[in-house]
Structure 1
Amino acid sequence: MGPLLRVIEPGSWLAAGVLLAGLVLAAGYLAHRGRLPAVAVSGIQLLLWAVFLTACYLPDTALLWIFPTPETIREAPGLLAAGMNEIVVGTAPLSSGEGLTLLLVGAIGLFAIVLDHVVVTARMPLLAVTGVVAVWLVPALAAPSGMDVVSFAFLAAAILFLLRAETRTRETPGVPSARPTTGQAGRPAERRAGVGATAVGIGAMAIVVAITVTPLLPTPTMRPGAGGGLGAAATINPSLNLGEDLRRLTNVPVLYVRSNAPQAPYLRVVTLSSFDGSRWLPDHIRTLPLEGSYGFGELRIDESLRVTAYRTTVEVTNLASAWLPVAFPAVAVEGLEGDWEVMPFNRTVVSRTANSQGQSYEVQTHVPRPTREQIRASHAGGTVLRDATYALPDVPMDQILQAATAVTAGAENDYDRLIALQSWFRGDEFTYSLDAPVADGFDGSGIEAIEQFVAQKEGYCVHFASAFAVMARLMDMPARIVVGYLPGTGNGSIVEGQVQYQVTSDQLHAWPEVHFDGIGWVPFEPTKSLGTPTSFLPERVALTDDAGEDLTGGVAEPVAPSASIAPTDPAMNPDRDDQALSGPASPAGISLTGALTAVAVLLVLTAPALLREVVRRRRLAAAARGDAAAAWLGVREAAVDLGIPVPAAESPRAFGARLVAEYDAPAGAVSLLVTAIERVSYAPEGGVAAAGGSRRAPGADATADAAMSNAVSAVTGALSASQSRGRRLLATLVPRSLIVRPGSAYAAARVPV
């Protein structure tokens, strides 16, 4: 499950997946111990799987809230379809909704059932390796990133464990490790000595090689829309990692647009306000139903501004995205199929269950058209803004600030400062390039990338937009970045009297916006050689009428600016997180990710001790049943844990004598164990066969069995008491016997504390 965290944000699915997998495997273990048929084992696990999912995600449709009913079966496909849609149209890291959570938890549970059947029932551990590798590899290919050492270490450990399980199936059962084998050199214990430690060595070598070599290999990339109308549709990465999208080898038409505006509008998809110094994050603002009573909400601008209404028609042909390309500022969208929601604060449209592919819709916009004098008289700011639109990381930005100060030195108002920045970026000093930034190592939008961009003056839209937005914030102006599409290129077609523009996948774009009091968000175009730079006409120039509807002349009065928004208007509450996008809120002061991380760390730290305790108890239980080999192995493993040498060449009698002489082991208990293992190892074959193939010493009875178990406890207790407190603690927390087997080369020498 670890690799999934790179493509899906941690949430309730993680805890539920761990719990369900644990329950399924525990049920399988108990069923196997009860010697039930394989079909019964799988049936019990599947029943538990169905009951768990029903109780967690579809209780309202279930009998007694846990047992599936026909209504449950009818409801489940809709949720699963919503989850699949999130995967198809979303981009990593996904924020899991109810449908995706059900899909994830259900898949994790089924995977656990399949692995249990393949490994335990069918006894084919190597076949299970294929599934484990696939689960680890698919997320790595879906979201290429740096080497995940922890995830790879778990993968290596899982594969090595399955390989060891495979080799155990080929070992001769019922033969004690100390028994010589005729015709073969050495004893089976010697032949198998060090298998665990060698496996760990191989795993460590693999990790080192992977860490060293992986960074030198080219990173695999997704190329959305790589094939005309045949391949998968293009998609959009809203996290501003547009470099690979813009450098794709094949560009395809993604949508067609026409409008009655004087020129085709930019189409926004998502806004990014939060900036942590290394990346810009998409806004997850509260959403409302598109067709609801609030919808986009009112356009709040100064009553003195001219406002014009336009209509823009968009036909999507090759773009599968949960975000809808819309003109700005939208006040209504008509003709959509499926359930869509609107983020009123940034006037973007998003869906959990539908996507943009094949949609044909009309966007109505009310565009404020201030004069140059009006925008110069205004100031960058406003009363209804999120703190994130001002925030900057607490890192040195002297070089960026100096450049912004120098460029805007002669400007007397916020608008002129921003125009000066726009003109500087679009001037002769800068060059638009998709390749140079990658070659010089700053293909990003963080502070370090911006500093290099300002110094080298070469980059693409991400660099221009990021640098502009950061400089605006350094001058105390609220700014954000928009990801969307350029207006496109006219294709010569006239539809309903309007020129049709074709927008291709390489016209994916990013641009900055700054908020002006009484006017709203004003877009700027700093990217050299792309788009249309922002400018406003002076008041003395007559504004010619166009095909748009002038709302200022009495058709509809603009709403006057308000110093505060009524709390009854949820459409304009920008600081309330979107429940649908973010999932259920965590309790105050508690971070779900932090809690899960703490639990995971605790489990990792205590896992060796818990596993060793399980093994120790199994040895004692076997000794209590008269298994002399298990009893003797328990003593040797305890010695390995404590750093006491356990060489393969030393006979049981010699090893026992050394334990008595050097570590104060009780002589009687050691003698009992040595005698028992010697009888099992060297008695005639009939002695073992008489016991039904077990490792019980010939002639042993229940009383002797109990004595053997007590002898193991007495000897191991004495060995522990002979060591220092530090050595005992180390043996408990980091038991060497889990990977270093008695008789191996690693167990032959004393281990210092």
Structure 2
Amino acid sequence: MPSDERPARRGADLTLTIGVLAAVFASLLPLMRVVRPSSWLLGAIVLSVAVLAAGFIARRYRLPAVAVSLIEASVWVVFMMLVFLRDTALLWVIPTPETMRALPALLSRAGEEIAVGAAPLAASLALSMLIVGGTGLLTIVVDHVVLTARMPLLAAIGLIAVSLIPSIAVPGEVDIMAFVLLAAAILFLMRTDTRSREEPLGRESTRTAGVPATALGIGAIAVVVTLVAAPLFPQPVARAGSGSLGSGPGIDATLQLGDDLRRPREVDVMLVRTSAPAPPYLRATTLSQFDGSVWEPDRVRTVPLESEDPLGGVVVDEGIRLAEYATTVEVLNLASPWLPVAYPAVAVTGLQGQWTAAPYNRTVLSQAGTTQGQNYEVVTNVPRPTLEQIRAHPAGGVEQRDGTTSLPADLAPIVGDLATEVTAETTNDYDALVALQSWFRGPEFRYSLDAPVEEGFDGSGTEAVAKFLELREGYCIHFASAFALMARTLGMPSRIVVGYLPGAATSDAVERETLYTVSSAQLHAWPEVLFEGIGWVPFEPTNGLGVPASFSPAGSVPGGADDPTLATPAPSASSLVPGRSPDGLERDQNGGEAGSTSSAMNPLPALTAALGILLALSIPALIRVLRRRQMLASARAGDAAAAWLAVQDAAIDLGIDVPASETPRTLGTRLVELHGAPAAEMSQLISAIERASYAPGGRHAFWQGDAMADAAVTVSAAMLASVDLPRRLLAVLVPRSLIVRPGSVYAGSGATARAR
């Protein structure tokens, strides 16, 4: 390599290295809404800087590409050992056999956090190690592809794929800032690589003029398409739980369902049929432990489902009737380790894979499998006490576990005060719970998915519950958490269940049993209270969903059509409307009949869409104007090639052939004779471009800059004025020159001259 080109090459390498760092950082931005930003972000940036700096220094000494990659890998190993695994390393940086044993455990722990966690995840040491290490490896690969292989477009594909992973795992709104930064970084890499390949100035082809403007135009069009067109396409499928990365939605069992319930699109997750009088709620897991900030899934003893009587029988006091039902579930689109089952299950058959049963809460789960594609039957024995029986049984009992009555030390006084106030006139535990249930479902409360997240309301902690009881507006998490805590302040054991509401009835039936569809929008949370001699009894405090649990006097005929002695809440008529989301039910209840046309139509969305479309349509013309101004500015500085390129672009916009086979003089003569270009100005431009092409040092004639720019403007305007109005508008609004370059195959062969 000539000595005068080495500084230019080193400068290009430095620029590309900075571009790689920017692109890697931009690809990480979408991850911040899945994993809370913390020390992992700083670690990822520091490691990327260290890897790229090592690679740049190694290339300055002209080391082989393999040596550069080995040096970068060594930096990666030293950083990872020093930050995450130094306790198992020799001299803090050298891996040992103990390191190799500890590494799989950390990776497994990180995978478990991703699989069962709820976005946004709090980054533990294991998850931080996974993210930082992955970022470092991505940096090494991209650095090799861009600076060694000189294939920035291939690197762009990898970076885009990485940036899309968080959106695939947790669908949501487009992260515009991350998209713009990544697009800009990729275009910067491509342009820098292209310039590093060009010949030195003075022998540079005039056809490379305007490339920065073209790149800017491509980026602007991409941004506009993302902002305007993307919302018109089908939205990502709703994920019932943000933690699952497998096929289909999952189940978030940490009571942080707010974002998941607000997904833009629903998907059917199960088909259900049952011998019960009404479709049952399907539980996934229970949550008894509450530390003041979050309800945790119960971690209880499990036994293999294949063992003899894994769930055990349902034990109730003498005289309380048990009703046996069979429920068949076909999973369509649900990836979860928790199996949705009716309650109380005594047997589950038909499952594929290894599953375990938890006798305590009668749930079924898998340590390695998934619910996706399962088709199984659940047999339940449902206690059916009479009203007199349940009133005579206090809340509590021998099954009570530590944690089902515990309250956090920082519980707001409003929780206990309201519980006492609402239940003041009741004389037994059941009536007290019914009073709470009726109060929540009364006119004082409103179901809404638009809880004020910015006020810390989107959760189930003590502060969120207190805020909910003040504002009296929220969704199932708030209702269930408040009910369970208020029951505990009254001395009653309570827990929360995460599962699905009963599905929507279809017109199909199997073996005379109605088929119900359960959608991802029916992911739900409800409370249960333990009654001595009866078991866990579910309640439905969520306003606008399901029907409240109730029991009838002994005079009711058991099993009759009017038998209301259902211990499991049954779905309301509105919850059986196909395709209706909880938010839609709430609007119907509080805002009049669905589909009413009496309300005034808000013109703002239509106006916004129209303005967006107009903006999108005007983008090409605006880019063309900016590009033309750039070329004229270069022309006024004495660049004859820029002035000539402005004329060529004007011709292409009008549909005039600008082939590579024609010299400037031949093309100029044709434009004068056939397309209205003025002869004097065209002659001036032809002389300037010929002098720039063939005369030594003639490229920049700064003393003729203004004259060349004015001549280019006059020639372009004259050609535009020579065509009819439709063609003129087309040239202005849809300029072909943004994508068709002079001399390219799309610019025409010049064989056919087009008349005016």
TM-score by structure 1 length? 0.49
**Higher relative contact order (CA closer than 8 Å, sequence separation 6+):** 1
TM-score by structure 2 length? 0.48
